[in-house]
Amino acid sequence: MLRGADTKVPWALVTTLIVAAALSAASCGDNTQVTAANQSLVRMSVDAPDTARSGSTFGVQVRALNVGLAGIHEGRVTVMLPSPLTVIAVDASAGTAATFANGSTGGTVEWDLHTLDSNSQSKIDITTLGVLAPTEGTKRLTVMASMTAQGINPGDAVAQDDVTLVQ
């Protein structure tokens, strides 16, 4: 090795690796996941209450956070709420759009992020209702969110959280 030779440190790479390590450590719970794509790091999270009362509405929040160097383009998140959960309303961040449908298998929310700029986040609040049958005492349900976008394939960015519905 030559003494006095200029050594160039790729600071953008070093910074990205430090941020990735920090996000990985922060996402150790079952309700978050960090995914890398196109010079971006996307953190998906689902936050549902631990328990909810049958017949009462409650909220579920889904967040998409981009801490990378580039935007995430054509981002779309599908949120699946299993039966007996149904979606009552959705409230998405400005600049995004969401629709929902309810069926025999539960509720589904389609959330169009369009572009998630670098160092930004979007969130959607979902108001839901679950009704147990009279013979059911409790039921544990998993709410799952999955993102696709340019460079993010189905299954690459998935987050989930459990809620227990009680009588």
Domains and CATH numbers, the chain: 30-166 (2.60.40.1510)
Predicted local distance difference test score (pLDDT) of residue 83: 95
Predicted local distance difference test score (pLDDT) of residue 32: 61
> At a CB cut-off of 8 Å and minimum separation 6, what does 167 contact?
53, 54, 132, 136, 137, 138
pLDDT greater than 50 at residue 25: no
H or E element in which residue 53 lies: strand 51-53
Q: What is the pTM of this model?
A: 0.78
